[in-house]
Amino acid sequence: MSTVTLSVPERRRSLTGWVFLLPAALLIAWMSFWPMIQAFVLSLKTGRGTRLELADPWWYNYQRLFDDAIFHTTLVNTAIYLVVQVPLMLLLALILATLLNDPKLRLRGLWRTAIFLPCAVSLVSYSLVFRTLFSTDGMVNDALKGLGLIDHPVNWLGQPGTARFVIILGLLWRWTGYNMVFYLAALQNVEPTTFEAARIDGAGPVKTFLFVTVPQLKPMILLTAIMSTNGTLQLFDESYNLTQGGPAYSSMSMAHYLYETSFHKNPNFGYAAALSYAILLMVAVLAAVQMKVGDRRD
């Protein structure tokens, strides 16, 4: 068995590389991994403020998750956002990217910019704008009454179903253009002859989209699905600024509940840390499942 020996210049270059990498690696460990370890230790404690001690049993905070009705409600809310909003958003982004990739389309740059612009708007700003639009005396109710579709103002933010609908609509408006840009970038690397071959074979726009475009964008679709899933599981701004979790926690996300547990309503940092690890576990499991399902290599 042969062994590879490095010459002195090669060893010096290798050592130089490690010297440059070490500060960044230490900074990442200090700023990312050490807080994660501290949060896990904190999740094993109970008490208020600085008066914290190890729970008995030490998994008490995690056991409490199974009996917390509010956490179950926020889990269902987040699951609804995930199941409804993420597939719809990615499908819209994919369709828009396909349409805007047409070289014959006029003013392509203008349309692309217009659809992407919501991504440049602050999360807090757009949430407050949507809150104003969907208030009982807002523009949406005025428009619906003007069209004769409703007789009385709809309390969009005061009912569980409509409050969730407003949050989903806000997420679609804010993030569809963001994912569209990823698909547009991926489409630039797709060989145009594949679309020409599909047209020659008699495939229409729908079949070309389903059997030519989508399969070639599979890696990018997987990436955006994982990012969108992670973002939805950590959803906070829309829940906090749009509906404030109401009515009666019926639109509150898990991340919003984590914030409430940490800083409001009898703050409990230990239980909040356990909540954060529960969210982390869900993110990791769903990402692993998506990778397993999406990455089917021969």
DSSP string, 238-253: HIIIIITT-STTTT--
| CATH number of the domain located at residue range(s) 71-265 in this protein | 1.10.3720.10
Contacts of 89 (CB under 8 A, 6+ apart): 171, 172, 175, 176, 179, 228
For residues 54 and 59, what is the distance between their CA atoms, to the nearest angstrom? 9
Q: Each residue's pLDDT tens digit in the chain (298 positions)?
A: 455 565 667 777 778 878 888 888 899 888 888 888 998 998 898 877 667 788 788 888 999 999 999 999 999 999 999 999 999 999 999 999 988 988 888 888 899 999 999 988 888 888 889 999 999 998 999 999 999 888 899 999 999 999 999 999 999 999 999 999 999 999 888 888 888 888 888 888 888 888 888 888 888 999 999 999 999 999 999 999 999 898 889 999 999 999 998 888 777 888 999 999 999 999 999 888 888 876 665 4
Q: Give start and end residues of each alpha helix (H) in 134-263.
A: 139-146, 160-187, 192-200, 205-208, 214-216, 218-233, 237-238, 254-263
CB of 175 closer than 8 Å to CB of 115: no
Q: Does residue 23 have a cis peptide bond before it, meaning omega lies within 30 degrees of 0? A: no
Beta bridge partners of 48: 51
CB of 157 closer than 8 Å to CB of 134: yes
Contacts of 135 (CB under 8 A, 6+ apart): 141, 156, 157
Tell me the HSE value of 221 on the side-chain side, using a 13 A CA sphere: 20
Contacts of 35 (CB under 8 A, 6+ apart): none
pTM score = 0.85
Give the alpha-carbon dihedral of 47, 49, 51, 57, to 10 degrees. Answer: 20
CB of 233 closer than 8 Å to CB of 76: no
> Would you call 18 exposed, middle or buried from its count of C-beta atoms within 10 A (0-12, 13-18, 19+)?
exposed
